[in-house]
Amino acid sequence: MAYRLGGGRSIRLSYEGRAPSLPILYSRIPMGSLLLALTGRRRLRVVGALLVAAGICLMATSCGRTPHGVTPEVDVTSYAAGERPSMPPIAGATLSGAQLDLATLAGSVVVLNSWASWCAPCIEETPELIAASSSTASADVVFVGLNVKDDPAKAREFVKQQQIPYESIMDPAGRMLATLPEVPPGSLPSTLVIDRSGLVAARIIGPIPPGVLAGIVESVEAE
């Protein structure tokens, strides 16, 4: 099933196995296209040509782009209870100078987004992250960034300019990113939604499609 976006772009959806038993929520997005919020238990694979002005990453071809600047598929995966991967320790200094350990957030739904200020698709998805963090804001939901292989000063300036409202743990060598379950090596951007037990309930590899993340978070929060 394909949906045409403006500017010659499209998002194509396919399901592995049966379609999700729970509904996929639809709403309006800019350019007359479709927003998708994943609430099913099956894998939802979103394949699209999501374009950014830069077209390529400035510093690494692994940053959500192929070497020729073509956006690969965006993979949105939901894990059923009992099949969820466990999280490794993720802790360290934040861009603000504080210390943060994800283990201290047990009991909350945590959204962990891996990003860098030099990564074009990371920049592209930032408004979606900010919108999702605002729309799902509660004591039970915590957004955390994992800032990977970045210049701290440039990362702080990016956070300030974009008014990102949550903390980011610094991962200067990418070692923590390399330990994340179900995340291909070096994948930026990538996002994990972690349930209250510290297990990965969903992952997004690539820039977040509009409207998807908030639906996933709300579904996990309601469990």
At 1-58, the pLDDT tens digits run 333 333 333 333 333 333 333 223 322 233 233 333 334 433 343 333 332 323 333 3
Q: Which of 216, 218, 207, 186 is nearest to 46 (CA)?
A: 207
Domain boundaries, the chain: 2-221
pLDDT confidence of residue 21 = 31
CA terminus-to-terminus distance, the chain: 29
Phi, psi for 187 (deg, rounded to 5): -70, 115
Threshold 0.85, pTM exceeds: no
User: How many residues in total does the chain contain?
Assistant: 223
Q: In one letter, which amino acid is 145?
A: G
Summarised one tens digit per residue, pLDDT across range 81-117 is: 999 999 999 999 999 999 999 999 999 999 999 999 9
CATH number of 2-221: 3.40.30.10
Residue 95 CA neighbour count, 13 Å, CB half: 25
Looking at residue 106, its amino acid is A
